[in-house]
Amino acid sequence: MPSPVSLWNTAPTSAPAQRKGRYVPGSAAHPAKMHPGIAAHAIRTYTRPGDLVLDPMCGIGTTLVEAVHLGRHVLGVEYEPQWADLARLNVTSAAQAGATGTGAVHGGDARHLTSLLPHTVRGTVDLVVTSPPYGPSVHGQVRSSRETGELGVLKKDFRYSRDPDGLAHVSTDRLLDAFTEILTQCRTLLRPGGTVIITTRPWRERGELIDLPTAVLAAGRAAGLTPTERCVAPLAGIRNGQLITRPSFFQMKNVRDARQRGIPLSVVQHEDALVFTRPGHQASEEKPKDRVSEPKAAPTTLCKPKTATAFCSRTCPRRTHHGGL
């Protein structure tokens, strides 16, 4: 049976606008940051204050920052030292701004999570929120010749580092093998019934669509997790029932070039939020007041990545649970 599908309205404003004044200087240089609205929505929906949230590939700490502002406790792991340092600064800054959650960031390879984190953490994590590295076509920022005084465009902030062992630099097959290892480690750290949310998107490489979301779904199953939902998190705003798209320069260029060659490509303007659970049941307890019980919704059909610009305009079939439209 297919997993239920929901539409998350997580981008009423752009990601840079959501980060403004909330993250320390230098955070914008990370080439593939988690979208703050997506992280915050996942945390609000699937946890309650006091729960423990983990991001095993935390980058600049977006998941961690949004979680501590919502009163959750956090653990982050990051392979690249420069981003781990920024994640620590961002969590510290959040605490100074009044965030009530607490957290720690550990440096190291997420494929060895259980040895990087205290043994007492095993079986206690309520929610994992993370994202694998994307293809280079969605990385980086651009400045035009009018801004730089140079010919053409200048691309910047499109590398994680030059470390050849970093997962951002390996083939898709190797990335998926490594990501399966990471999810297997996460399963060990999760409590029974705990949740994993992976945000990912398809991209194009030399005109071919790389369907990373479906591959990640298979990686989660291989790691022993149970898929429960496949949600659409637009990277576009929704106003008066219309999409306000914010495609990158590279997305637009790739699509325009393809259309000039007669290939009817569309701009990808969403992320797939893949929801898994660890098999098992949590001990019964009273439902927290900030979460709403509701009847189970019938599954709906997820719009496929290749038709991403026309993805589902239906309101969320589980709108109470997901804060729908």
Residue 30 lies in a domain: yes
Q: Residue 242: its pLDDT value, please?
A: 80
> Across 165-169, 171-175, 255-259, which has the greatest mean pLDDT?
255-259
Q: pLDDT band at 160, cuts 50/70/90?
A: low
* More confident call, 5 vs 14: 14
Q: pLDDT band at 234, cuts 50/70/90?
A: confident
Q: Residue 165: its pLDDT value, please?
A: 62
pLDDT at 209 over 80: no
Looking at 103-117, 133-147, 308-322, which range is the least confident one? 308-322
Q: Residue 168: its pLDDT value, please?
A: 59
Q: Domain count for the chain, please give it.
A: 1
Residue 176 lies in a domain: yes
d(CA 155, CA 70) in angstroms, rounded, equals 35
Q: Residue 152: its pLDDT value, please?
A: 54
Regarding beta strands 190-200 and 226-234, do their DSSP bridges make them parallel or antiparallel, or are they unpaired?
Answer: unpaired
Angle between helices 62-69 and 36-46 (to 10 degrees): 50
d(CA 314, CA 139) in angstroms, rounded, equals 30
Q: What percent of the chain has pLDDT over 90?
A: 47
Residue 10 lies in a domain: no
Residue 150 lies in a domain: no
> Across 175-179, 216-220, 250-254, which has the greatest mean pLDDT?
216-220
pLDDT tens track for 82-139: 999 999 999 999 999 999 999 999 999 999 999 999 999 999 999 999 998 764 444 4
Looking at 56-70, 112-126, 298-312, which range is the least confident one? 298-312
- What average pLDDT does the chain have? 78
Q: Residue 170: its pLDDT value, please?
A: 58
Residue 116 lies in a domain: yes
Residue 155 lies in a domain: no
The neighbouring-strand residues paired with 196 are 128, 276
Q: pLDDT band at 227, cuts 50/70/90?
A: very high
Three-state DSSP at 216 gives helix
Q: Residue 122: its pLDDT value, please?
A: 96
* More confident call, 167 vs 188: 188
Angle between helices 212-222 and 172-189 (to 10 degrees): 40
d(CA 305, CA 251) in angstroms, rounded, equals 14
The CATH number covering residue 218 comes to 3.40.50.150
Q: Residue 59: its pLDDT value, please?
A: 92
Residue 1 lies in a domain: no
Supply the range of the domain harboring residue 217. 15-135+167-322
Q: What is the CA 20 to chain-centroid distance, rounded?
A: 19
Residue 148 lies in a domain: no
Is the separation of the CB atoms in 180 and 276 below 8 Å? Answer: no
Q: Taking residues 23-52, what's their average pLDDT?
A: 92
Q: Residue 31: its pLDDT value, please?
A: 73
